[in-house]
Chain A
Amino acid sequence: MTTKTLKKNTTELINDKKNITLRVAQKRSDIIRCQYLIAERYNKYYKIFFSKDTADLNAKIEPYPHKFLMALHEDELVGVIGLYTHNTYIETFGNVSTGEIKKISHQLTKEKPNTTFVEVTKLVITSKWIGTHLSQLLLGAAFSKTFLSSSVNDSQNIIVGTCAKISVFKHLFTPVGISTHLIKDFPKYKVHELYGTKKNPVQSRLIIPELDVPKQLYDLQIPGTHAIDAVKPGYNLKTNDGTIKISRTKKAPPSKTEATNV
């Protein structure tokens, strides 16, 4: 696919390309915008509610992430992905122990595990961005060194967990080039009744960023402005750091849903 020239420092749409600015939510107003977008999308699709204080997965009340990565188009918030920096979802509700995380990471890295564990979660985009590569961009950006280490000092020893149904790993992680390692199936909760199925169960997985995330994504510039294509064969995603080629799985369209439990 030919990549059109992108005018610097502009949000002008050139052909079918759109500029997306990524930044970590810092201001109170940005955090609230992120929380409300996540809550709205999750409620629309999965009838889920949110609470800062009390999570109850059988009452369909979820906890918010601790950090948010914003995707903005012309100052409009068009997508969000979150990060649990402590008390992660898969540890709290997924019966994943620190021992299991350390064991798997040791098997993969052969290094003595001395790490910070965080979890990438709650990827949402607004309706009109369905069919673009915004989900892929946000997912990839969530695995950038800058975002993962936004609440810790040492970016070298971060291990990432995540929780999603198998089809999300297949159709979102794999095409972006992010490898994942199964920890275990996620226990059954009412909160996932409209999400996972028997054939497409929810799983907890582990990612070692330095091994499993493409360098362009790991080093992605945040804050920064990146161009995404609308739906077209070949899936190119151009970032400031160069074009990332997103491979196309047999039945893998760009994301059709606006919220995934990633």
Chain B
Amino acid sequence: MSNRSRLPVYGVYLDKADRKKPLSHIDFKFNPIDFIAHWQRCGATANYLAEFQAYNFDNRKKVTNIMSTVLNELIENAVKFSADAHQEASISIYNYGETLTLQCVNTTQLKQANKFEAFIKTLMETEVEELFLQQIMSAAEDDHTASGLGLITLKKDFNAKIGAKIVPDTERRLYTIYIKVVLDVNTLESL
């Protein structure tokens, strides 16, 4: 990754940026150590943020459940794969009316960044049902935590559009991972 001249950018990050001002916006900044020390804060935070956004929907209960699942996945990944438990990570939610955009940012090490990039490439290039089955099988064989099943499930079950970019911080030999999940509001309401 370090030899590349251009940044690795995938999925929705390649789409034309949405210049619209969000109708609703919330940023949540956190230190992974708070979640490592009390793992149930992942669920509690996901529930709070989901409920906060769900007020904009007709079916609040259903949207809260779906949003909470998505957010929990993003928060858990950011906590698990952060290079430094005291390095700030963040999650942001933007409501544009027709779409909801969730963005998670955390810092990780080269090994994890490479693994993540390989996974994101596969996620972009492989049919989601096939990838889901593959990952189920390999997760069962390896008993591997970082199976990526969560992001695959978001794409498969919630028709989420996913994007990622990996920004190197050469000075600290770390990588900032940006993950974006775009959810269609009509799809969410109809699930």
Residues of A within 8 A of B (CB): 35-36, 39-40, 43-44, 47, 49-54, 60-61, 190
Contacts and interface: CB of A to CB of B under 8 A. Distances in A.
Contacts of A43: 36, 85
B190 interface: no
B40 A40 contact: no
Nearest to A62: B39
A112 B38 CA distance: 41
Nearest to B35: A49
A50 B37 contact: yes
B170 interface: no
B80 A35 contact: no
B39 A49 contact: yes
A49 B143 contact: no
A218 to B, nearest CB: 32
A60 B80 CA distance: 11
A40 B36 contact: yes
The DSSP consensus for interface residues of chain B is: helix
A52 B38 CA distance: 7
Contacts of B36: 39-40, 43, 49-50
A51 B80 contact: no
A121 to B, nearest CB: 16
B145 interface: yes
B33 interface: yes
A51 B38 CA distance: 5
A49 B75 CA distance: 14
Interface in B28-59: 33, 35-40
A51 B33 contact: no
A61 B166 CA distance: 29
A40 B40 CA distance: 16
Contacts of B79: 49
A55 to B, nearest CB: 10
B136 to A, nearest CB: 17
Contacts of B38: 50-52
Contact of B39 (A36, A44, A61): A61
Contacts of B37: 35-36, 39-40, 50
Given A39-B33, A44-B85, A51 B40 contact: yes
A40 B83 CA distance: 12
A122 to B, nearest CB: 13
B169 to A, nearest CB: 20
A53 B37 CA distance: 12
A60 B39 CA distance: 10
Interface in B131-152: 143, 145
Contact of A54 (B33, B40, B145): B40
5 contacts: A47-B80, A49-B35, A49-B36, A53-B40, A61-B39
Given A36-B33, A51-B38, 7 more contacts: A40-B37, A43-B85, A49-B35, A51-B39, A52-B38, A53-B40, A60-B145
